[in-house]
Chains A and B, each alone.
Chain A
Amino acid sequence: MKNAIVLLASIALATNAGAQTRFNSQPGKSSVKLQGSSTFHDWEMEGRVIGGYFELGSGVAIDAAKGAITGLKGEVLPATVRANISLTTIHSKAEHLPEVMDNLMLGYMNATNYPTIRYISSSLTVTNSGPGKPFECSATGDLSIAGVTNKMTFPVTLAMPDPTHLEAAGTVHFKMTDFKVSPPAPHPLGLPTMKCGDDITIIFDWVLQKR
């Protein structure tokens, strides 16, 4: 679907030389999933609010139809990217008592003191591109969770379904303990201890619109 949208987009985004092009998060369009495992079953949480912006450097222009970006510095896309996700907007997908899981997560993530997951990009390298296809990139930046910041590199795809919208999608793998978060081990409803696995996957689909 995403590819089809990109194929239909034949108008290149032309930016004025010397001017930056800023895209802000579009309300109600984005999603972020947190996936993990436990001794009972795999679990998933989902949020629908991603804040922040994606700013293309001056002179950068994306032509989605041609799969071309002008203004690259080597393979690096000059861009400033900041994303943030409030922990209170991430909710358990559990059928039963999802609020209990939400509160559990907020507690283990020390949400009172660190209510937001933050990401600040330091480089975005285009690794593959082609006409009508999303641009494949490698993103490196600082990911801050629960007050701990780690430099992470992960694959991202950039798509431009039309000249006013940008979609960044990707998957990030890490361990809770990398951020000094202990894997939760609650006692749900008097049942044996449910111990969560250390590995976490974040899957995001971030939709932005031109300011």
Chain B
Amino acid sequence: MNKNENSSDFDRRDFIKNSSLAALMAMMGGTELKAQTSAPSTGGTVYTEIPVGPTVKFGVIGLGEWGREILKTLALLPNAPVVALCDTYHASLQRSAKEAPKAEKFEDYQKLLASKDVEAVVIATPTHLHKQIVLDALAAGKHVYCEAPLATTVADAKAIAAAAKAAVKVVFQPGLQERSHPQRGFLVPFIRGGAMGQNIMARAQWHKKGSWRRSSTNAEHEEELNYRIGKNGLGLAGELGVHQFDVTSWFLKSRPTAVTGFGSIMLWKDGRTAPDTVQAVFEYPEGVRTMYDASLCASFENAYEVYYGVDSTIMVRDEKAWLFKEVDAALLGWEVYARKDQFYTETGIALVANATKQSAIGQSATSNAFAYQPIYYALASFTNNVGIVAREVSSYTENYGDDLSGLPETLSHLKLQPAASWREGLDATVVAIKANEAILAQQKVAIDSQLFDL
């Protein structure tokens, strides 16, 4: 479905309109350009700019490490009770029950889907197991949040996207969580709107020393746990890089046409097949290239992205961002009021989302602007959107019965919280699959535009 297909879109005209207002506000208050937040503060005040909508009852399928993180996050939302849990591994099921003690427990996801109590499911199984569960969940009329990447093959990803598109009565959201993060949405105007001038290239990295290996007393389960570093997974670039690939394509409003990859096992020589250090160069239209590297062998500089333009460069890290201007770039109306931070010999103009609320709660503008991880905003958006869509669908069918011909048009007018759709899920998954393919082959791989077709 494409209810929220363009929810994160933006053009230059919007930027001019909104930046004028922002500049005016900055002049009036002498403060920085700011975005609002939806996060409860650490100071005890709860901000609810993601409004609490109707309650949505959840089932969570796949209770590994990330599945348990999802359970903890859902517990933070006041309208997202978890009523059912599912994992094929009994010990995982038992351990997760502590996070949702009232939830019914299933080892067979089909039985969870048969539960009328479950309105929405989060699918956090290993990537290669997503397809059938998603198809069955959509067929059962459940709203679906499927972790990213959607699948490990383009065919599976297309099958998921096609089913999601056809399921007009429910919300499908891939786990591209940055699409819902207020900071990322706040940056789109700066990347797209001309403050950087012509985009010339971008760079992204994810560095974190650690093996990614998980252990279990059950050998079969241990293999399942380690799918990310084995033959069933998409490796560092696919399983993790998919989020940064998605953001890059979103910001550049484009899709890569080719990727050249490199990968090596530099440190963790424990029988794994997936490289622990990878590099990839993506080719975008008009000569723009973006570089990505990830490593499990070093943590220096952790994760960040840099978008280079002829007038300025934007660096994004830790849910914060800075604009670095070229000396020959024109003065931006608002920049004189903005906070400046020093980075070695460079001066960055802070593009701080949430600073208004920070001021209100006495936080310094240099502290982390958001109390929660991106998954919080993604699940909050999903819950909110499911509530709104389900209510609309209910009223629609009450009035028009089974004639769904007008439903897509009706839903297209709803204002939903920003979230990725099947479209972005398919695009990012295709890029992730091709990046992993290039890395394993150590060569250039074309990304044919037909791969994105549905």
Chain A residues close to B by CB (< 8 Å): 25-29, 46, 48-52, 84, 86, 88-89, 91-92, 96-100, 103
| Selected A-B contacts with CB under 8 Å, 10 pairs | A27-B403, A48-B410, A49-B392, A49-B399, A51-B398, A52-B399, A86-B399, A88-B391, A88-B394, A89-B410
Quick check: is B415 within 8 A (CB to CB) of the other chain?
Answer: yes
Would you call B395 and A88 a contact (CB within 8 A)? yes
Q: Which of A26, A51, A88, A92 contacts B392 (CB 8 A)?
A: A88
| B384 CB contacts on chain A under 8 angstroms | 99
Would you call A29 and B406 a contact (CB within 8 A)? yes
Q: Which of B51, B399, B405 contacts A99 (CB 8 A)?
A: B51
Would you call B395 and A28 a contact (CB within 8 A)? no
Quick check: is B336 within 8 A (CB to CB) of the other chain?
Answer: no
Would you call B406 and A27 a contact (CB within 8 A)? yes
Instruction: Enumerate B343-394 residues with CB–CB distance to A below 8 Å.
Output: 384, 388, 391-392, 394
| B398 CB contacts on chain A under 8 angstroms | 51, 86
Bound form: Cα–Cα A68–B398 in Å: 35
Given the known interface contacts A27-B406, A28-B408, A99-B53, the answer about A89 and B388 at a Cβ–Cβ threshold of 8 Å is: no
Bound form: Cα–Cα A29–B394 in Å: 17
Would you call A27 and B395 a contact (CB within 8 A)? no
Render B406-417 as a binary contact track against A, CB cut-off 8 A, 1 for contact.
111110011100
| A103 CB contacts on chain B under 8 angstroms | 51
Render B53-85 as a binary contact track against A, CB cut-off 8 A, 1 for contact.
100000000000000000000000000000000
Would you call A28 and B53 a contact (CB within 8 A)? no
| B89 CB contacts on chain A under 8 angstroms | none
| B405 CB contacts on chain A under 8 angstroms | 27-28
Bound form: Cα–Cα A29–B407 in Å: 10
Given the known interface contacts A50-B399, A99-B53, the answer about A27 and B407 at a Cβ–Cβ threshold of 8 Å is: yes
Would you call A49 and B396 a contact (CB within 8 A)? yes
Bound form: Cα–Cα A26–B406 in Å: 8
Q: Which residue of B lies closest to A48 (CB)?
A: B410
| A26 CB contacts on chain B under 8 angstroms | 406
Chain B residues close to A by CB (< 8 Å): 36, 49, 51, 53, 384, 388, 391-392, 394-396, 398-400, 403-410, 413-415
Bound form: Cα–Cα A89–B415 in Å: 12
| B49 CB contacts on chain A under 8 angstroms | 97
- Count of A-B residue pairs with CB < 8 Å: 63
| A48 CB contacts on chain B under 8 angstroms | 409-410, 413
Q: How far is the CB of B267 from chain A (nearest CB, A)?
A: 48
Bound form: Cα–Cα A51–B397 in Å: 10
Q: At the interface, is chain B mostly helix, strand, loop or mixed? A: helix
Other A-B pairs beyond A26-B406, A97-B49, 5, CB < 8 Å: A28-B405, A28-B408, A46-B413, A49-B410, A99-B51
Would you call B400 and A25 a contact (CB within 8 A)? yes
Would you call B395 and A86 a contact (CB within 8 A)? yes
Q: How far is the CB of B1 from chain A (nearest CB, A)?
A: 14
Q: How far is the CB of A187 from chain B (nearest CB, A)?
A: 14
Q: Which residue of B lies closest to A29 (CB)?
A: B406
Q: Which residue of A lies closest to B51 (CB)?
A: A99
Closest 5 CB pairs of A and B: A28-B406, A27-B406, A51-B399, A28-B409, A86-B395
Q: Which residue of B lies closest to A103 (CB)?
A: B51
Q: Which residue of B lies closest to A90 (CB)?
A: B395
| B399 CB contacts on chain A under 8 angstroms | 25, 27, 49-52, 84, 86
Bound form: Cα–Cα A50–B398 in Å: 10
Q: Which residue of A lies closest to B409 (CB)?
A: A28
Would you call B395 and A49 a contact (CB within 8 A)? yes
| B396 CB contacts on chain A under 8 angstroms | 27, 49, 89
| A46 CB contacts on chain B under 8 angstroms | 413
Q: Which residue of A lies closest to B47 (CB)?
A: A189
Bound form: Cα–Cα A99–B415 in Å: 8
Q: Which residue of A lies closest to B388 (CB)?
A: A99
Q: Which residue of A lies closest to B396 (CB)?
A: A49
| B415 CB contacts on chain A under 8 angstroms | 91-92, 98-99
| B394 CB contacts on chain A under 8 angstroms | 88
Q: How far is the CB of A83 from chain B (nearest CB, A)?
A: 10
| A98 CB contacts on chain B under 8 angstroms | 415
Q: How far is the CB of B8 from chain A (nearest CB, A)?
A: 15
Bound form: Cα–Cα A89–B53 in Å: 14
| B408 CB contacts on chain A under 8 angstroms | 28
| A25 CB contacts on chain B under 8 angstroms | 399-400
Q: Which residue of A lies closest to B360 (CB)?
A: A190
Q: Which residue of B lies closest to A27 (CB)?
A: B406
Q: How far is the CB of A40 from chain B (nearest CB, A)?
A: 15
Would you call A28 and B410 a contact (CB within 8 A)? yes
Q: How far is the CB of A209 from chain B (nearest CB, A)?
A: 10
Would you call B409 and A100 a contact (CB within 8 A)? no
Bound form: Cα–Cα A98–B417 in Å: 10
Bound form: Cα–Cα A32–B185 in Å: 31
Bound form: Cα–Cα A96–B50 in Å: 11
Would you call B404 and A27 a contact (CB within 8 A)? yes
Q: How far is the CB of B266 from chain A (nearest CB, A)?
A: 48
Bound form: Cα–Cα A77–B261 in Å: 74
| A100 CB contacts on chain B under 8 angstroms | 51
Q: How far is the CB of B40 from chain A (nearest CB, A)?
A: 15
Would you call B409 and A97 a contact (CB within 8 A)? no
Q: How far is the CB of A174 from chain B (nearest CB, A)?
A: 23
Bound form: Cα–Cα A48–B408 in Å: 11
